[in-house]
Structure formats: structure tokens, C-alpha cells
Amino acid sequence: MSIVFVPPLIALLLSKETEKGSPLTEDEVNSIRDNATAINVDSDIALAMAESRGYRDISPDNCWSEWSDFRNEGSD
């Protein structure tokens, strides 16, 4: 079984940051993750969802680090 966020965490964080108008803090990222909607599905379904989405979501376990990396990629 795998936990899948709906919408994906990365999309949710992008939306919240746009709404805020400035970079999210680590506390904000963690709070958004902790309050996000998630479903528990079979691993093969989670993989199919990721493939149909066309991108890999960030890991909830490494949310801040992966979000920071994603944001830094866009500023290069």
C-alpha cells in the first residue's frame, strides 16, 4: 500500500505559495502537508497515478528538502 496525496503535494505547495505571494516557510510546508488530503492505495495503483500525472510528487517524509530543491531548480 502507498499513500497518495490528492492533489499531489507539489501542486498543492505551488498553489499555496502563489496564493501567499512569497516563499513558503518550512513550518508552512509541513503544515500544508499535515493537513493535505491523502488516500491509501495499492502500490501498483499509486505508480499508475504517478505515470498518468507525468511527474513524480515530492515525498511527505522529505517534504521540506524536496520542496526546497524543486524551488531552487526553478531559480537556476
pLDDT for residue 38 is more than 60: yes
- The set of cell numbers assigned to 37 is 488530503
What is the overall mean pLDDT for the chain?
A: 94
**Exposed, middle or buried: residue 20 (CB in 10 Å: 0-12, 13-18, 19+)?**
exposed
Report the pLDDT value the prediction gives residue 61, as an integer from 0 to 100: 95
Of 69, 59, 57, 71, which Cα lies nearest the Cα of 8?
Answer: 57
Report the pLDDT value the prediction gives residue 49, as an integer from 0 to 100: 92
In the chain, domain spans: 2-56
Residues 25-35: pLDDT tens digits?
A: 999 999 999 99
CA 17 – CA 28 distance, rounded (Å)? 10
Residues 9-19: pLDDT tens digits?
A: 999 999 999 99
Under DSSP, the state recorded for 31 is: H
Query: Global pTM?
Result: 0.87
